[in-house]
Amino acid sequence: MKTLHIHIGTPKTATTAIQTFCMENEAVLESKSYCYPLFPYVYKKVAKGRNGHFLIGTIEDGSGNRRIEDEEKRFRDSMRKIRELFQTFDHVILSEEDIWRLMDDYRKGLWEKIEREAKEAGFRIHIIVYLRRQDKYFISNWNQNIKQKIGTFAESSFHEFLEKANKKTRLEYFEKLERVAKVVGKENITVRRFDKGEFEGGSIYADFLFAIGLKLTDEYVISQGVRNVGLYGNIHEFKRVLNGLPQLEDASNERFIRELMLECSEISGEYYPCEMFSKEETEAFLENYKAGNQKIAEEYLHEPDGNLFDYTVKDVPKWQKENAFVYDDIIRFIGVMTSSLYEENQKLKSDIKELSDFAYRISHPLRSALHSGKRKKED
């Protein structure tokens, strides 16, 4: 049966790597009757590889008001394109990690809408979701908001995020899966653990292919790509504070600061290895979700005696605002910024000199000719 595979993340589970892999291996996938289509839509801060974004993306007018009719038209146009693709391919793949959160926000009827489309067109819906242990996902989600200056939590401390973030739409995995399963059926949901030790074939790429019915072979290309490095040590706190500056409203300024922060991040984490929770806090946090996780192992992974995750918790210090490494990290950041500005200044000087020399030769053609003749004589 024709199958629409919808990879819905969750966030912080190598979604970008999977999307890049699918784009780079378009021809290989198509030779196996799988298609990863790219649509001609542009959304702010959304990479083209997120080809399922039309399912939850918004369209706004110049005043910031949603254009619901245009969103519906885009959905209809995209589904029409998918129907056309099914005339050539047996499988179509969409990927968008924000579905995991937004299907419980302003896209509450999303699965019913897609299911109606599937029944009308005669294709099957298959959902792939990667789950990461709740504490790791929650902390990583906060870290990403700080690093990328995303949304309302870009300036929030971890404590504020812990208090205010809607944990139900992020972390109660079993309840979310059940809501989806009521529409599409449990048999059409594939749950995968986001754990390197659990990946089929030892990599996220082999694991994803396995989830959609394929096997990783030498035909596929895997690029190194860009590592999605987090902010470690004290660097997340520096970026959190700087996110409040009006200058960082400019995207290029924000990106410049972020790149400097990332240059300091790993070394800060080496000198000050820490976590946002203490060991005891992590264990207490995870206790809220163990029962639901066990149900997922039983009902979606068919492992009645297994755990969804390894609950081993590292015993490392909890991050403290007043710690012994703050000043070293400040000095390190100032040094990296100064070095970066110096290198940029030197490059600009070199470019100016080249332009000046070129302008001089153009404005003095005789001297330029003499200079060229002199060089030939010397040769």
| Beta carbons within 8 Å of 165's beta carbon, 6+ residues apart | 138, 141, 142, 153
Task: Please state, rounded to an integer, the average pLDDT across all residues of the chain.
Answer: 92
* Portion of the chain with pLDDT greater than 90, in percent: 82
**What is the pLDDT at residue 292?**
96
The residue among 184, 233, 234, 225 whose CA lies nearest residue 205 is: 225
The residue among 6, 275, 289 whose CA lies nearest residue 124 is: 6
Compute the average pLDDT of residues 243-257: 94
Q: Could you tell me the pLDDT band of residue 280, with boundaries at 50, 70 and 90?
A: very high
Structure tokens at 6: 């919808």
Q: Hunting for tokens 């994803």 — which residue is that?
A: 208
Q: Which amino acid, 237? A: E
Radius of gyration of the chain, Cα coordinates, nearest whole angstrom: 26
pTM of the model: 0.87
**What is the pLDDT at residue 378?**
53
Q: Which range scores top for mean pLDDT: 11-15, 90-94, 369-373?
A: 90-94
Cα separation of 304 and 281, whole Å? Answer: 28
Q: Check residues 4 and 304 and name the one with the higher pLDDT.
A: 4
pLDDT in tens, 305-330: 889 999 999 999 999 999 999 999 99
The residue among 295, 296, 293 whose CA lies nearest residue 285 is: 293
* CATH code of domain 3-131+195-228: 3.40.50
SS3 331: helix
pLDDT at residue 374 is higher than 80: no
Structure tokens at 333: 């950041």
Provide the β-strand partners of residue 373: none
Helices of type H across the chain: 15-24, 26-31, 68-85, 99-102, 110-121, 134-148, 158-164, 167-171, 173-184, 204-211, 235-242, 251-271, 279-287, 290-299, 326-363, 365-378
pLDDT at residue 375 is higher than 60: no
Compute the average pLDDT of residues 151-158: 93
* Portion of the chain with pLDDT greater than 70, in percent: 94
Structure tokens at 175: 């309840």
Q: Could you tell me the pLDDT band of residue 228, with boundaries at 50, 70 and 90?
A: low
Cα 4 to chain centroid distance, Å, stands at: 22
List of long-range contacts for 41-48, beta carbons under 8 Å, 24+ apart: 41/74, 47/16, 47/19
pLDDT in tens, 114-141: 999 999 999 999 999 999 999 999 999 9
